[in-house]
């Protein structure tokens, strides 16, 4: 009985960690496409092909529900996969909507017309592919009016995290926050729109200042998943939990163990 969680690499572990804490009785099968990370510098078709292959693999391993714990895949591939149709009894969901619902103070699944919300100036930090897709702004426009979003493509941060070079990652975060602040000097809220970035949450908060409310996806996605599974218990699937990677299992396991501060053992996908 496992729910599939997919990311290009290690970032989705931030979602997995929150989901495991929130739903201790649910097994998760985590799929990291490390061999092809980072996705954020690829074109939309490439991201779609890679994402579809990974999701089909998770479905084949018995997962009924797959969470794209990757904003880049959610932005570039989710809609196309859903429009092309998914097999009977299977679902694939992304990570944007729970975040936007929190930002716009909505209950899950509230589809009422867009309305004014408290927050007016929002900084979005994401990969180049997510920023150029404008998927975040599109989803936000369905729910809120009068929100000014300034997006900053954070080149290099995912590569540095995947390589375990946290000093470089921190320096890049500072320079991307500076670049954002030149365009929007006083954001009220900041969205960490890439699941790798919560691993650098302290660096973002420090560079932005304590007055800026920083939203990251782990807990929000975990809570919304709990709500979804209560309404759709058949989506638990029948596969076993675990960790698979298209990369080198020993290297990926070491990095994951370091990030989650507990022993994680990946197997070859």
Asked if 70 is an active-site residue, the reply is yes
Least distance in angstroms from the C-beta of 128 to ligand DGL = 8
Active site residue 154: no
Q: Enumerate binding residues for ligand DGL (CB under 6 A).
A: 7-9, 11, 37-40, 70-72, 127, 130, 158, 194-196
Supply the minimum distance, in Å, between the C-beta of residue 194 and ligand DGL: 4
- Our CA angle for 2, 224, 238, nearest 5°, is 15
Nearer to ligand DGL by C-beta: 117 or 192? 192
- Strands of 12-114 (E only): list them: 27-32, 65-68, 91-93
Q: Which residue is nearest to ligand DGL (CB)?
A: 40
d(CA 103, CA 200): 20
Nearer Cβ to ligand DGL (117/179)? 179
Least Å distance between CB 88 and ligand DGL? 28
Quote the tokens at residue 64: 């009924």
**Rounded (10°) angle between helices 217-231 and 13-22:** 50
Quote the least distance from Cβ 137 to ligand DGL, whole Å.
Answer: 16
Nearer of residues 110 and 202 to ligand DGL, judged by Cβ: 202
Whichever of 17 and 72 has its CB closer to ligand DGL, that residue is 72
Q: Please check whether residue 72 is in contact with residue 130, taking contact to mean a CB–CB distance below 8 angstroms.
A: yes
Task: With beta carbons less than 8 A apart as the criterion, state whether 2 and 29 touch.
Answer: yes
The active-site residue out of 32, 58, 69, 70 is 70
- Work out how close the CB of 35 gets to ligand DGL at its nearest, in angstroms, rounded to a whole number: 12
Please name the helix (run of DSSP H) or strand (run of DSSP E) that holds residue 163, with its range, or none: helix 157-163
Distance CA 193, CA 72 (A): 9
C-beta of 39 vs 114, nearer to ligand DGL: 39
What are the strands of the beta sheet with 27-32, ordered from one edge? Answer: 91-93, 65-68, 2-7, 27-32, 242-245, 267-268
Residue 233: Cβ within 10 Å count: 8
Annotated catalytic residue, options 73, 194, 199, 212: 194
What is the set of active-site residues? 70, 194
């Amino acid at each position: 009985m496992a729910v599939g969680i997919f990311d290009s690499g290690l970032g989705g572990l931030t979602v997995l960690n929150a989901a495991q804490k929130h739903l201790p009785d649910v097994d998760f099968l985590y799929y990291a496409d490390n061999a092809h990370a980072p996705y954020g510098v690829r074109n939309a078709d490439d991201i779609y092909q890679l994402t579809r292959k990974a999701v089909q693999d998770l479905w084949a391993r018995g997962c009924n529900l797959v969470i794209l714990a990757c904003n880049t895949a959610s932005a570039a591939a989710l809609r196309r996969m859903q429009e092309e149709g998914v097999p009977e009894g299977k679902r694939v969901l992304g990570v944007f909507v729970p975040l936007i619902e929190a930002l716009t103070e909505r209950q899950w699944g509230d589809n009422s017309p867009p309305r004014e919300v408290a927050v007016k100036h929002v900084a979005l930090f994401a990969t180049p592919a997510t920023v150029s897709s404008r998927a975040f702004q599109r989803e936000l426009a369905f729910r809120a009016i009068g929100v000014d979003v300034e997006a900053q493509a954070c080149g290099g941060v995912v590569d540095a995290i995947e390589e375990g070079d946290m000093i470089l990652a921190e320096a890049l975060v500072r320079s991307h926050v500076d670049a954002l602040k030149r365009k929007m000097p006083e954001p009220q809220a900041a969205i960490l729109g890439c699941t790798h970035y919560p691993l650098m949450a302290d660096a973002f908060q420090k560079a932005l200042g304590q007055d800026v409310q920083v939203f990251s996806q782990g807990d929000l996605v975990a809570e919304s998943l709990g709500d979804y599974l209560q309404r759709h218990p058949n989506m638990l699937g029948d596969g076993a939990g675990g960790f698979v990677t298209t990369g080198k299992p020993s290297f990926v396991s070491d990095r994951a163990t370091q990030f989650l501060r507990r022993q994680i053992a990946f197997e070859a996908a």
